[in-house]
């Protein structure tokens, strides 16, 4: 079984690993590029989970203006200035700013949703379920699903990535953590729309 140097380089570029690791992954997968890529991403995501505990204080502020009507500022942090200056990191910041412009999330992560907001929406959904005449246990299950869906649409990390509907923003960030080898965090975001005040 021969593995071409082009495939090794391609796997290296997609995953951010060294040439030796890319060759080893292709060898383990008997030359199956897709299987090697999947295995490398799984390993990378496992490492990404560990990296997410590390301090991220470097980074950049990305500005994006859409048609002169919507303006967005996003602070994206990583661990070092070296990574902050890479094209991959800058592209990630730009993609996230465009996501904020298009989808207008209210929160960055599920942890940012205030308890009173969750309680308010839960009460509202329970009232609606009762009004429709659903039995209590069915209403509770329906409300749990509706609540999850409602906050997923309002939470940046839970939203589907505008460029790829198979990824959430959380997946996108984890993929970049695996590729760039540092913790990456969306620290804050601001969105301004012409004629709309908060």
Which carries the bigger pLDDT value, residue 53 or residue 39? Answer: 39
Q: How far apart are CA 11 and CA 2, in angstroms?
A: 15
Does the pLDDT at position 1 exceed 80?
Answer: no
Q: Quick one: what percent of the chain has pLDDT higher than 90?
A: 43
**What is the arithmetic mean of pLDDT over 90-110?**
95
Taking only the tens place, the pLDDT of each residue in 7-30 is: 888 777 666 666 777 788 888 888
Q: Which domains are seen in the chain, by residue range?
A: 5-51 (1.10.8.10), 58-108+155-193 (3.30.479.20), 114-154 (1.10.286)
Residue 63 pLDDT greater than 90, yes or no: yes
**Nearest C-alpha neighbor of 191 from the set 112, 110, 99, 113:** 99
- With CA atoms as reference, report the closest residue to 106 among 156, 160, 161: 156
For the question of whether the overall pTM of this predicted structure is more than 0.75, the answer is no
């Amino acid at each position: 079984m021969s593995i071409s140097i082009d495939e090794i380089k391609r796997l290296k570029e997609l995953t951010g690993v060294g040439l030796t690791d890319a060759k080893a992954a292709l060898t383990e997968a008997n030359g199956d590029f897709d299987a090697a890529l999947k295995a490398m991403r799984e390993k990378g995501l496992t490492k990404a989970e560990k990296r997410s505990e590390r301090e991220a204080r470097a980074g950049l502020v990305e500005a994006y203006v859409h048609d002169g009507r919507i303006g967005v500022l996003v602070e994206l942090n990583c661990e070092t200035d070296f990574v902050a200056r890479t094209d991959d990191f800058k592209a990630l910041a730009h993609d996230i700013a465009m996501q904020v412009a298009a989808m207008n999330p209210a929160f960055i992560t599920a942890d940012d949703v205030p308890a009173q907001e969750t309680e308010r929406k839960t009460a509202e959904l329970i009232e609606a379920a009762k009004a429709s005449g659903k039995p209590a246990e069915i209403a509770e299950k329906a409300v749990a699903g509706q609540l999850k869906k409602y906050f997923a649409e309002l939470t940046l990390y839970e939203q589907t990535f505008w460029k790829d509907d198979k990824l959430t923003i959380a997946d996108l960030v984890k993929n970049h953590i695996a590729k760039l080898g540092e913790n990456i965090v969306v620290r804050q975001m601001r969105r301004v729309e012409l004629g709309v005040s908060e």
